[in-house]
Structure 1
């Protein structure tokens, strides 16, 4: 992936959210009716994979991952009552354009992804409730300083989502971001998903890794970090955050369509302690 290209994983995540409303059955796990418009010219091609092969374990597994993390995160935000929402690695997330008034949204990402998204938003005509676009080089920039420059209030608690990212980072990079989130106001919530290490995966999860892992690496986005719930809880605790976890099984429940939970990714919600 070059510095001027949008992440392939961001496109695939948006396609999974869009395809859920087409190939899966109600009740829907998560409804994002802006996902397809934000894909722009890539929408038909990416969604067609799901239309034609929606019950394939790789595609249904991808939908399960994306839907679980989106549902869990936005449920957390709505229950929190907080008025500041930060998306780290926002990709093509559409919350800002679906949200009701009262929540200020800060989308943190690479400048190239944000340029792509601005163009897609304009083409889709989604003009209300625009977020604050915060371009950050995670290797060089101080996250809180960049957020504050865009109007973020560090004295008030916030929900921070970090979805579909940790598996592409080294453990050191994950710790660095966690240490920055730990500087937020007490009570702030970090919501993230993480891939489980091989001993914790079930057969469906291991099959997904075998089928997809080499392809993601070839696309320039190799998986680098895997965390068990206990390992991640210890890492978060060391930086002053208290963690709780949720599995795909808890979020999806029993369904009659192709969506099946697996032990591939889990969700973690962590609270910044005083």
Structure 2
């Protein structure tokens, strides 16, 4: 972090923005707001993808962030009136999607990261009131109390997304958060991204991990947690969730979107799990 700026948030937003410039149609996901939100950083980040876009980490990042966003935002449009984005970073759903005018969107992140995002929104002339900013230090703050203080209705089911975060946390920290999320209203749905252990990765996932994991560790953000689908199912079950499905990157979008003329390919390094809070 540099004064609140999140490197991982910039890389994710850069991957979504670059996808529409570097890769060919059909697009996995169309984040038409990411480049605008990145402001002065957009040209540099997209330029890097244009120059080195076939590298396994850059192409892998574009595939990962766009596939997971596509899957998750499709889940928003299934009748929920509340959407909680944990580790929101530079997510643009609230400022881009027509659905955001019909539901309450809660962006949960560290206060310093949120201040940085507010500054980017202001600089881009984007209305920040489209989302409710819930500043939370996960080490010390009460997540349930904080979202309730911002108008979250704990009696109504919500969609909760938790993307690009759990691999940086210990299992104890993940378990603590799931304890809170498990108290949300029955029918609340969680879409969580998790990293696979080495023995379950495919060739593309191994290649991505070989480059990316040492780089993030060198930058002070090592990957700490890895789960088999079975182990994560057990953990979620213990916290009151019933798992509906585990989704690979290939499965996260329609099959025809992987019939491509560019070098964008799915990798099995991280997966999504969709689970529901039980009655």
- Consecutive unaligned residues in structure 2, runs of 5 or more: none
Q: Distance in 2 between matches of 1:83 and 1:99?
A: 14
Deviations 1:219-260 (A, max 9, x none): 121100011111111110111101111111112433222211
The secondary structure found in structure 1 opposite 2:130 is coil
2: CA distance, partners of 1:13 / 1:234: 29
Residues in 2 aligned to 1:139 and 1:66: alpha-carbon distance in whole angstroms: 26
The answer for the alignment partner of 2:85 in structure 1 is 87
The 5 Å alignment of 1:90-101 reads 90-100=88-98, 101=101
Aligned counterpart in structure 2 of residue 261 of structure 1, from 262, 266, 276: 266
- Is the CA contact (8 Å cut-off) linking 2:121 and 2:128 kept in structure 1? no
Counterpart of 2:22 in structure 1 is 23
Q: State how far apart, in whole Å, the 2-side matches of 1:65 and 1:177 are.
A: 23
Which residue is equivalent to 1:43?
A: 42
2:146 pairs with 1:141: no
CA distance in 1, matches of 2:37, 2:222: 25
What is the aligned partner in structure 2 of residue 78 from structure 1?
A: 77
Does the 8 Å CA contact 2:241/2:276 hold for their aligned counterparts? yes
Q: TM-score, normalised by structure 1?
A: 0.96
Q: Residues 25-74 of structure 1, C-alpha deviation per residue, up to 9 Å, x if partnerless?
A: 11211111110111122111111111112222111111111011101110
Deviates more, 1:112-121 or 1:254-263: 254-263
For the pair 1:194 / 2:208, whether they are aligned, the reply is no
Separation in 2, partners of 1:105, 1:165? 19
What's 1:33 paired with? 32
SS of aligned partner of 1:117: helix
Structure 1 segments of 4+ aligned residues over 3 angstroms from their partners: none
- CA deviation after TM superposition for structure 1 residue 111, in Å: 1.0
- Partner of 1:270: helix, strand, or coil? strand
Aligned partners of 1:25 and 1:37: how far apart in 2? 20
Structure 1 unaligned segments of length 5 or more: list them: none
Aligned partners of 2:190 and 2:148: how far apart in 1?
18
Instruction: Count how many residue pairs are aligned between Structure 1 and Structure 2.
Output: 272
Asked if 1:229 is matched to 2:229, the reply is yes
Structure 1, residues 144-163: CA drift from partner, whole Å, max 9, x if none?
10001111110000001101
Is the contact between residue 4 and residue 115 of structure 2 (CA under 8 Å) also seen in structure 1?
no
- How far apart are 1:140 and its partner, in Å? 1.0
| Structure-to-structure mapping, 1:67-216, within 5 angstroms | 67-79=66-78, 81-100=79-98, 101-127=101-127, 130-216=130-216
In 2, Cα distance between the equivalents of 1:124 and 1:262? 33
Does the 8 A contact of 1:18 with 1:36 survive in 2?
yes
Deviations 1:128-178 (A, max 9, x none): 752110101111111110001111110000001101000000000011111
Structure 2: distance between partners of 1:45 and 1:220: 22
Q: CA deviation at 1:6?
A: 2.0
In structure 1, distance between residues paired with 2:22 and 2:233: 35
Which residue in 2 is equivalent to 1:251? 252
1:61-72 correspondence to structure 2 within 5 Å: 61-72=60-71
Three-state SS of the structure 1 residue aligned to 2:250 is helix
Mapped to 2, the partners of 1:128 and 1:8 lie a distance apart of 21
